[in-house]
Amino acid sequence: ARVVVLLSGTGSLCAALLAATDDPGYPATVVAVGSDRDAEGLEHARRRGIATFTCRLRDHADRTAWDAALAAAIAEHRPDLVVSAGFMKIVGSAVLARFGGRLVNTHPALLPAFPGAHAVRDALAAGVEVTGSTVHLVDAGIDTGPVLAQREVPVLPEDDEARLHERIKTVERKLLVDTVARLVTGHAGNDTEEPR
Ligand code: GRF
């Protein structure tokens, strides 16, 4: 299956997915990696000779034009699945019309808890002892689409945001790799861990 990854940052989740595709038995290949900026994460693709694209909001008249351009840039690679892995923009109706239902996002919290761009900081501030990672289908809301998979991650007393986020990312990487494989082989069953 053809996967396009969208990212905005370091791209460690994208790197994990790329590493998984090194296994010929993995049922997906990453055909392109796109970003809304010249993100360092694009380097993971460049190093492998995988196509990259950048779709900057400021290069377009408004969000609608940006959204349409992003949809076209993704479509050029004929993806079966689009994976938002640390992509920090909210996609619009053009992207959703084209890829809704096969566009997933990974979020560093147990949605619906702590949606938005500061999930790890918010979980720490809330003083929860357990947070986690969620892979969900993207819908028109912010981190509101149907949950496909979740994994719990403990919060430790001496955690700061960076430490907790790194622990979550370790879990996120595996959850994303496993969920993408399940989705493209058609067993998109629900993989949420039974609450302990
Ligand atoms: C991940 O925790 C993702 O859930 C969040 O941003 C982080 C991206 O990390 N939206 P990286 O850029 O893949 O290292």
Written in H, E and C, the secondary structure of the chain is CEEEEEECCCCHHHHHHHHHHCCCCCCCEEEEEEECCCCCCHHHHHCCCCEEEECCHHHCCCHHHHHHHHHHHHHCCCCCEEEECCCCCCCCHHHHHHHCCCEEEEECCCCCCCCCCCHHHHHHHHCCCEEEEEEEECCCCCCCCCEEEEEEEECCCCCCHHHHHHHHHHHHHHHHHHHHHHHHCCCCCCEECCCC
Token duo for residue 142:
């912010």
CA distance linking residue 36 with residue 38, whole number of Å: 7
Whole-number Å distance, alpha carbon 41 to ligand 1 midpoint, is 10
- 130-137 and 147-154 strand pairing: antiparallel
pLDDT, position 187? 59
Three-class SS of residue 123?
A: helix
91 is in an annotated binding site: yes
**Ligand 1 first shell, C-beta below 6 A:** 7, 9-14, 41, 85-86, 106-108, 169, 172
Q: What is the pLDDT of residue 196?
A: 41
The tens place of each residue's pLDDT in the chain, 196 residues long, gives 999 999 999 999 999 999 999 999 999 999 999 999 999 999 999 999 999 999 999 999 999 999 999 999 999 999 999 999 999 999 999 999 999 999 999 999 999 999 999 999 999 999 999 999 999 999 999 999 999 999 999 999 999 999 999 999 999 999 999 999 999 997 544 555 544 4
Q: Which of 106, 135, 148, 161 to mutate to test the pocket of ligand 1 (most atoms within 8 A of CB)?
A: 106
Quote the pTM value. 0.93
CA quadruple 20, 25, 27, 33: dihedral sign = positive
Known catalytic residues are 107
pLDDT at 192: 52
Nearest CA owner, ligand 1 atom 3 = 86
- pLDDT at position 73: 98
190 is in an annotated binding site: no
Nearest ligand 1 atom to the CA of 168 is: 2
Reading the block at residue 54, the tokens are: 């950048």
Report the pLDDT value the prediction gives residue 186, as an integer from 0 to 100.
77
Residues whose CB falls within 8 Å of the CB of residue 95, separated by 6 or more in sequence, listed in order? 67, 70, 71, 74, 103
Contact present, 109 and 144 (Cβ < 8 Å)? no
